[in-house]
Chain A
Amino acid sequence: MNQTIVSYLSQYEFYDVLLNLFGNNQGLLAFAIYLIVALVVVGFCATVGGLGTYAERKISADLQARMGPNRVGPYGLLQFLADGVKMLTKEDIMPYTADKFLFYLAPLLALVGVFATLAVLPWSSGFMMADLNVGVFYLIAISSLVGLAVFLGGYASNSKWSMLGGMRGASQIISYEIPVTLSVLAITLLAGGMSFGTILSHQEGTIVNWFIFHNPFAFIAFFVYGIGAMAETNRAPFDLPEAESELVSGYHTEYTGLRFGFFALAEYIEVFVVCGVGTALFLGGGNLPFNISIDIIPTQFAQVVIFVTKTCLLYYVVIWARWTLPRLRVDQLMSVCWKYLTPIAIFNLVGCAIWLVMFNGKSLADLVFGSH
């Protein structure tokens, strides 16, 4: 019923060979496959996160007519590796007033929260690690661990900058979760399910079948989702928790070395995940164009490539927004969330429900071109 990578591979012959190798122990083989795939996914995402820092610096340099990093490797591409090594060799400093237990725990929570979201990310129709029935809902829920980590990191440092950043971060993340959840609810309405498999199967075919073009309300919902997601990942123009010109570095001011690295890694992977979810919910995910239904392993890889390309395009937009828009004030931040985005998101939700009932679930393209 729900496709996972194990059930996908089990239709091929080499699965039986592998099964024999593991002494016909289904569970053990599934564990081995999941472990390998998880390591690959984590490695890939860590690289994307690392390259994200590079892309961020390079793109910002482009926008500001500078050079950006250009010393380590060709075009400075290996800069993130150098940064990683540097972080490893930095002294581990903890303020003597800090709450030691929570100071250790906060980066761990951020990492766990972000890595757990990777499980449901739909790379392709076959290469999904877990296609839970509660897919999107699970993703929203588990990523709230990151908000908690931001708050605890700010609190545990016992520094005034960190504390302010942590409080701002937590209230911002929970506030913007509401418009994001409501936009996701609208897509749940349209798809008739929360699992990514269901959502993607409704967007097969040409570009007009994407949910963003399903109806005008879904189109607005995409932008509400995008703004909310940017705020949830603390990206500028919503980077108040770590606003460098007013709070030094916000909630991770006191973090040094690898623990700071974990926070940064979690943040960059979260941006990737959020962009990936936006791709899957609104932009057709990794679906091949024109209903190509040949299901062999190369087409699966093609889907992965399409998915990652779309996600990286969204990632580019996020970076672009960061370096072109000024930061909001705290009161503006809250009024944008509660007075604009949330009512608009509710309006979209109602609009989608009415559209579904009025047009019997047909999309705008179905009505215009008269298919079905």
Chain B
Amino acid sequence: MFIELLFLTSALLTVGSAIGAAVTRNIMHSCVFLLGSLLGIAGLYATLGADFVAVSQIMVYVGGVVILMLFAVMLTGGKDFVSRAQNLLGLAPAMGNKWTYTIGLLTALVVVLTNVKLITNVVKAYPAKVIGNDFPSTVNQIGHLLVKEHVLAFELSSVLLLGALVGAAIIARPRRQG
């Protein structure tokens, strides 16, 4: 009962905020709606029992990426860069004309239907297997996987992050004039 309610709330929050983020004309509001969407996704992870992933989602996206996006928007001066032109019932900012939207909708429908078709077959072929019963929590399971089977990925991810850090530092560095 509780889980169903939690799922429903999270799903509504995710979808509603995502629609809000796409429809709003103010780029700051868009970022904040995105925050709601990301929180909703964390809630969805939590209903699946993936507590560590849910908290990581909050930690990285809500605590980090959204703030970084807000900073990035502030680099451009915030609200002054709002797009005034609009299309499609006056709701969305001008990202195309009605043909763009129609084709986008059709493509989305085709992609979703194909994916559902594919996934149902896979799910039917491999019924859900309960794994990790010998671990007290998902954290321990993830930890053991990280140091045993996926130790190379764990170490390489740190190198990847080092690359990202150096790249970020270089890009953000002010250039010499002229």
Contacts and interface: CB of A to CB of B under 8 A. Distances in A.
A297 interface: no
Contacts of A55: none
Contacts of A102: 28-29, 32
Interface in B44-94: 51-52, 55-56, 58-59, 62-64, 66-67, 70-71, 74, 78-79
A137 B55 contact: yes
Nearest to A28: B1
Nearest to B137: A133
B58 A142 contact: yes
Interface string A125-161: 0000000111001101110110110011001000000
A43 B105 CA distance: 50
Contact of A134 (B26, B29, B52, B74): B52
B67 A147 contact: yes
B2 interface: yes
A99 B28 contact: yes
B2 to A, nearest CB: 6
Contacts of B55: 134, 137-138, 141
Interface string A101-142: 110010000000000000000000000000011100110111
Contacts of B67: 144, 147-148, 151, 170, 174
Nearest to B24: A101
A177 B28 contact: no
B62 A140 contact: no
A194 interface: yes
A134 B71 contact: no
Given A133-B137, A133-B138, A194-B139, A152 B63 contact: no
A171 B67 CA distance: 9
Given A138-B55, A151-B70, A177-B63, A105 B137 contact: no
A1 interface: yes
A145 B79 contact: no
Q: Main SS of the interface on chain A?
A: helix
Contacts of B52: 133-134, 137
Contact of B63 (A132, A171, A174, A193): A174
A145 B62 contact: yes
A364 interface: no
B136 interface: yes
Nearest to B1: A27
Contacts of A193: 139
B75 to A, nearest CB: 11
B62 A152 contact: no
B66 A155 contact: no
Contacts of A147: 63, 67
B79 A137 contact: no
A193 B140 CA distance: 8
Contact of B78 (A27, A105, A145, A155): A155
Given A101-B29, A105-B32, A155-B28, 10 more contacts: A99-B26, A134-B139, A138-B51, A141-B59, A144-B59, A144-B63, A147-B67, A148-B67, A170-B67, A170-B70
Interface of A: 1, 27, 31, 99, 101-102, 105, 132-134, 137-138, 140-142, 144-145, 147-148, 151-152, 155, 167, 170-171, 174, 177, 193-194
17 contacts: A27-B1, A31-B2, A99-B28, A101-B29, A101-B32, A102-B29, A133-B137, A138-B55, A138-B58, A140-B59, A141-B63, A145-B62, A145-B63, A147-B67, A155-B28, A170-B71, A174-B63
